[in-house]
Amino acid sequence: MEFQDVVRRRRMVRTFQPDRPVPPEVLDRILRNATRGPSAGFSQGQAFLVLEGEDLARFWAMRPKGNDVSTAPLLIVPLSCKRVYVDRYAEPDKGWTDRDEARWPVPFWHIDTGMATLLILQTVVDAGLGALYFGIMPDDVPTFRETFGVPEDHEPIGAVAIGYSAEDDGTVTGSPRTRGRRATEDVVHRGKW
């Protein structure tokens, strides 16, 4: 698929074809691409928890609020590790040896994990499948950690449900049903605000 078509066609899919698994080679490509994103200082403080089958059932047992999205055969949870960034920037070529968090203009660990997540979403579209990115709420995080043995220094930034879409191409779901896309000229400031 042309890159421009991937960008244009990407939207969140919330209903998936049940019993149609994600081919292993597609999952491999998704995960390989997820590690091709940029990262501050090439820190690469990302991790990806892959849940299928019984493991995925444990996720939804923990979070029964799931709607149709729980029929997706695959879930990837991207996680950020701040420690990796703070350690990396304390190295000689960066020199932030005081590890002062005030130095960080924005949380680069979450920025980079978000970029990796977009690569996941775009690869899914390129492979002809659909995905929904959704948040894991703070109340659910302790149970999530315990259920899957996730270390305290890794923070889930959300979850990506992946599968074959059961929605028609033209279907609009979620907030875009009630909100339009902002015009480019409303968000771009050329030369000055």
Q: Which is nearer to ligand FMN, 84 or 124 (CB)?
A: 124
Smallest distance, ligand FMN to C-beta of residue 80, A: 13
Q: Cα 118 to the chain's mean position, in Å? A: 6
Nearest approach, Cβ of residue 91 and ligand FMN (Å): 30
Beta carbon of residue 164, minimum distance to ligand FMN (angstroms, whole number): 17
Residue 190: C-alpha distances to residues 106, 181, 185, 193 (Å): 23, 20, 9, 7
Decide if residue 53 touches ligand FMN (CB under 6 A). no
C-alpha separations of 113 from 10, 78, 161 in Å: 18, 7, 16
114-143 positions binding ligand FMN, by CB under 6 A? 132-135
Q: How many CA atoms lie within 13 A of 108 on its CB side?
A: 20
- Residue from 12, 26, 79, 125 touching ligand FMN (CB under 6 A): that is 12
Among 18, 23, 53, 176, binds ligand FMN (CB under 6 A): 176
Binding of ligand FMN at residue 63 (CB under 6 A)? no
Least separation in angstroms between CB 101 and ligand FMN = 22
Stretch that binds ligand FMN, among 32-40, 71-79, 100-108, 174-182 (CB under 6 A): 174-182
**Closer residue to ligand FMN in complex, CB, 10/83:** 10
User: How many residues line the site for ligand FMN (CB under 6 A)?
Assistant: 10
What are the CA-CA distances from residue 33 to residues 3, 36, 44, 119 (Å)? 14, 5, 13, 6
Kindly state whether residue 11 participates in binding ligand FMN, applying the rule CB under 6 A.
yes
| Nearer to ligand FMN (CB atom), residue 95 or residue 180 | 180
Q: Provide the binding-site residues for ligand FMN, judged by CB under 6 A.
A: 11-12, 132-135, 158, 174-176
